[in-house]
Amino acid sequence: MSWLSNFLGTSPIRHDFNYDVNTADYKTDPRLLASMGDLNRTGGRLLGMGNQMYGSGMDLISGKHPLLMQQRQWLTRGLQDLGATQGLALNRNLAMRGIGSGGLRSIVGASRDRGLGEQYQKGLLGIGQLGLESGTRLAGLGSQAVGQAGGLYGQAGQLGAGIDARSLQAGQWNAGQMNQRNQFASQMGYQQAVDNRNQRASFANSLLSLAGGIGGQFLGAHLGRGIMSHMAGLGQGSDLMSRYLLPMAGPNYGGGL
């Protein structure tokens, strides 16, 4: 019956209200990604160097650095060699003067030892001062390097946050466009269904009205012929029938049902 529906104009409308959505496709610039990689790598190198310098500085300050330990070893060995040399020279001089192993030799030896001890103390103090000054500078440089590494990491993080923000904006835009398309299609589909239903209802009402009109005419004609036949049987006169009733019965009146 589709041809009849098409002919009568009662075919339901079936239109697809979906449409292609324009979406945003955000692609990160490769140069931006390369810059982020450079920042992270440079930050990593600075962080490693900074931690190493800071650790070395703290070892210098505390006196545990291998350089200070070596300086102390050199100091001890040098004073030992100096003491031995001075002892030999002293013994030679005393022997030339005929002084044996008596009290004078002991006094001179003790004086020499005190001099060596003072030199050792001064040497240790100098080594400690060197470690403190060098360690303070080195630890400070290490801290600066660590801070610079943190700054580079922060710059890379900001670039990454910007990329995430733009990607999120693109995703939100695409979602909004899709939701708008779906809402439009849903609303228009509902309106189309309502219009089709109203069209079918209107066509059905028209058919019922047409059928009612035809049925009423048929019933009226049938009743008219019945009344005229009854009156004719009662002998009411041909003049009355021809003037009022025959026109009501119609041209097909045959004198009976």
**pLDDT tens for residues 119-151?**
878 888 888 899 999 999 999 999 999 999 999
**pTM value?**
0.52
Q: Domain for residue 199, yes or no?
A: no
> What's the CA gap between 217 and 210, in Å, rounded?
11
CB 200: neighbour CB atoms within 10 A?
A: 13
Q: Domain for residue 24, yes or no?
A: no
Q: Domain for residue 82, yes or no?
A: yes
Q: CB pairs under 8 A, 24+ apart, for 64-68?
A: 65/131, 65/135, 68/127, 68/128, 68/130, 68/131
> What's the CA gap between 189 and 183, in Å, rounded?
10
Q: What is the enclosing helix (H) or strand (E) of 144?
A: helix 103-234
Residue 136 token pair: 């303070």
**pLDDT tens for residues 173-207?**
888 888 888 887 888 777 878 877 877 777 667 76
Number of domains into which the chain is organized: 1
Q: Domain for residue 70, yes or no?
A: yes
Q: Domain for residue 239, yes or no?
A: no
> What's the CA gap between 64 and 135, in Å, rounded?
11
Residue 77 is part of which domain span?
30-174
Q: Domain for residue 257, yes or no?
A: no
Q: Domain for residue 47, yes or no?
A: yes
Q: Domain for residue 148, yes or no?
A: yes
